[in-house]
Amino acid sequence: MRRTFIAILLAAAGVWPAITVLASEPASAGDAARGQGIYEEYCRRCHGDDRAGLATYQASQEELKLRLEGQLRENMPDFFGVFREEEIADLHAYLTAR
């Protein structure tokens, strides 16, 4: 009952549509600045300063996810379960921002 009341209040205030829009934002809307922080912590030791070893990387976020989760692995370490979807989006935004 109380919950319904709050939902109605939010809807009336026009807040609900805003929340729905945020929740359904596409997975690719990553933040390159946050991605850079993740890169420096986890990736730089192999791929170099300022993405040197990935300079031409432009594959999709889905490809990056599969790679990080060990499904495209050749010599790349397995980051399965390490990153949340938003962090993969952030990394992807950073890697592909040129």
Residues near ligand HEC (CB under 6 A): 42-43, 45-47, 54, 57, 64, 67-68, 73-77, 79, 91
Question: Are 23 and 61 in contact, with CB atoms under 8 Å apart?
Answer: no
Nearer to ligand HEC, 1 or 52 (CB): 52
User: Cβ closer to ligand HEC: 15 or 76?
Assistant: 76
Which of 10/69 has CB closer to ligand HEC? 69
In angstroms, the first-to-last Cα distance of the chain is 51
Sorted by sequence, the CB contacts under 8 Å of residue 79 that are 6+ apart come out as: 42, 68, 69, 70
